[in-house]
């Protein structure tokens, strides 16, 4: 008689390798793990009784040791301007996270969260303003993707780990989630279509490089990296991103070079534009030199106002009067400085793009997640 486990675990947290070991420990053939994994992750089976091709006794064994738990949808907003969708999910702990579905030409990108809140505390980010709540389990990261697919019927072309939280401060669960979503027995997202964003931590980038290149991790070897730069001046960057005090740019640049030298995966630099603060001639010169260090592209991002008071010198950008609509008109006064900055970089042969501000009207754009929710307003 199979003994019922007193501590059931969410099977969605298990990679295929972990599930194979678990099935063997339960006295079952190893190949059964692949059948179970495929049913749950590829065919969205939400109950062990619904798994086809396995014996009834195995279904009961699974029921005794595991459970399947997806996220609970609390709210869904859609932008009337660009059809961006923002999903509010509730965790068993009562904390809430946001996930965004972005449409851009042929791309359908799901932006996932890795933490409820964040413990980095970036000055320009609403998530950082609410503080850290909890790290997400791997199951809660991947379930964001599964629920968006189930709710909308839309399968993503790309996944970005750029939602709430700092992925490298929930490292093990992020790696595990990447292994699960890239597995060909699951939804099989090609790793080259996945980007992980980070503010940068010494030694973590080097570890990430080594981990995605491990023989057993072949499915994630082409993961792309986005570095939240925002300033090439250490002093100003420390005001924007508190953790950069212990992670100076010279150290991070070395690790980014190491990442490219080993993986050959191009790096993206994320750069929020703050007129008069990070768009000076010396900023352009430093960005130009940086762009020559390794193959990369620089994404220029308009600042999006958030529902929290900011410290100077950023608060002036957060006022309603200074809100700017990046509408593509290079001659409009509100866009002139931004486009001049981009054109100057292009003249220096820098690969630079203006990142679309999708979902600004529903607080779903870069830096805005958690800003539109009264339950998360910092007190």
User: How many residues would you count in the chain?
Assistant: 379
237-290 confidence digits (pLDDT tens): 999 999 999 999 999 999 999 999 999 999 999 999 999 999 999 999 999 999
Please state, rounded to an integer, the average pLDDT across all residues of the chain: 92
What 3-state class would DSSP assign to 307?
A: coil
Residues above pLDDT 70, as percent of the chain: 92
**pLDDT band of 372, cuts 50, 70, 90:** low
232's tokens: 């090439």
291's tokens: 């762009």
314-340 confidence digits (pLDDT tens): 888 887 544 444 544 444 445 789 999
Radius of gyration of the chain (CA): 22
**pLDDT band of 6, cuts 50, 70, 90:** low
**Residue pointed to by tokens 């969260």:** 113
Examine the residue annotation and report whether 366 is marked as an active-site residue of this protein.
yes
- Residues 275-300: b if buried by 16+ CB within 10 A, e if exposed: eebbbeeebbebbbebbeebebebbb
77's tokens: 């907003």
- Identify each DSSP E strand in the chain by its residue range: 9-10, 66-67, 72-78, 85-90, 96-104, 107-111, 115-117, 132-135, 158-161, 194-198, 224-228, 267-273, 296-302, 352-354
288-309 confidence digits (pLDDT tens): 999 999 999 999 999 988 878 8
Contacts of 81 (CB under 8 A, 6+ apart): 360, 361
**Through-space distance between the first and last CA atoms of the chain, rounded to whole angstroms:** 54
**Residue pointed to by tokens 């001639």:** 281
pLDDT reading at 376 higher than 50? no
| Catalytic residue (choose from 118, 122, 125, 366) | 366
309's tokens: 């008071």
46-93 confidence digits (pLDDT tens): 999 999 999 999 999 999 999 999 899 999 999 999 999 999 999 999
Angle at CA of residue 109, ends 46 and 137, nearest 5°: 45
Name the more confident of 320 and 228.
228
Between helices 281-293 and 249-263, what is the axis angle to 10°? 30
Decide if 204 contacts 171 (C-beta within 8 A): yes
| Per-residue pLDDT, 332 | 47
- Residues forming beta bridges with residue 160, ordered by sequence position: 111, 195
Residues 17 and 312: their CA atoms lie apart, in Å, by 50
100-111 confidence digits (pLDDT tens): 999 998 999 999
| Catalytic residue (choose from 20, 98, 166, 270) | 98
pLDDT reading at 160 higher than 70? yes
Q: Enumerate domains of the chain plus CATH numbers.
A: 9-67 (1.10.150.530), 72-266+358-376 (3.20.20.70)
Contacts of 298 (CB under 8 A, 6+ apart): 229, 268, 269, 271, 287, 291, 345, 350, 351, 352, 353
Residues above pLDDT 90, as percent of the chain: 85
pLDDT reading at 2 higher than 90? no
| Per-residue pLDDT, 330 | 46
Question: What does 201-246 look like in DSSP terms, one character per residue?
Answer: -TTHHHHHHHHHTSGGGGGGTT-EEEEE-S-S-HHHHHHH-GGGGS
169-208 confidence digits (pLDDT tens): 999 999 999 999 999 999 999 999 999 999 999 999 999 9
203-226 confidence digits (pLDDT tens): 999 999 999 999 999 999 999 999
């Amino acid at each position: 008689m199979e003994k019922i486990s007193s501590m059931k675990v969410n099977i969605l947290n298990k990679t295929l390798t972990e599930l194979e070991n678990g099935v063997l420990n339960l006295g079952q053939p190893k190949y059964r793990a692949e059948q179970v994994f495929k049913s749950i992750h590829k065919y969205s089976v939400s109950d062990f009784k619904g798994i086809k091709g396995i014996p009834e006794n195995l279904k009961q064994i699974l029921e005794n040791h595991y459970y399947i738990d997806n996220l609970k949808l609390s709210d869904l907003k859609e932008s009337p301007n660009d059809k961006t969708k923002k999903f509010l999910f509730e965790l068993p702990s009562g904390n809430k996270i946001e996930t965004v579905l972005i449409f851009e030409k042929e791309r359908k990108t799901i932006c996932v969260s890795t933490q409820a809140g964040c413990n980095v505390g970036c000055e320009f980010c609403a998530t950082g303003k609410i503080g850290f709540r909890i790290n997400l389990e791997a199951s809660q990261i991947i379930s964001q993707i599964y629920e968006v697919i189930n709710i909308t019927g839309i399968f993503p072309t790309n996944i970005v780990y750029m939602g709430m939280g700092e992925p490298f401060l929930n490292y093990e669960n992020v790696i595990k989630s990447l292994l699960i979503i890239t597995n060909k027995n699951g939804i099989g997202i090609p790793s080259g279509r996945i980007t992980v964003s980070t503010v940068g931590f010494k030694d973590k980038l080097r570890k990430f490089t080594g981990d995605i290149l491990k023989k057993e991790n072949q499915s994630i070897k082409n993961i792309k990296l986005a570095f939240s730069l925002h300033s090439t001046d250490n002093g100003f960057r420390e005001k924007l991103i508190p953790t950069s005090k212990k992670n100076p740019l010279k150290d991070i640049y070395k690790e980014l070079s190491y990442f490219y030298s080993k993986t050959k995966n191009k790096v993206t630099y994320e750069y929020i534009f703050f007129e008069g603060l990070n768009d000076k001639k010396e900023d352009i010169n430093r960005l130009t030199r940086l762009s020559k260090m390794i193959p990369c592209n620089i994404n220029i991002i308009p600042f999006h106002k958030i529902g929290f008071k900011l410290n100077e010198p950023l608060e002036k950008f957060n006022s309603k009067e200074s809100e700017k609509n990046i509408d593509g008109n290079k001659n409009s006064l509100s866009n002139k400085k931004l486009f001049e900055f981009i054109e100057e970089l292009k003249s220096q042969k820098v690969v630079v793009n203006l990142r679309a501000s999708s979902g600004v009207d529903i607080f779903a754009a870069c830096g805005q997640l958690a800003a539109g929710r009264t339950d998360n307003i910092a007190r």
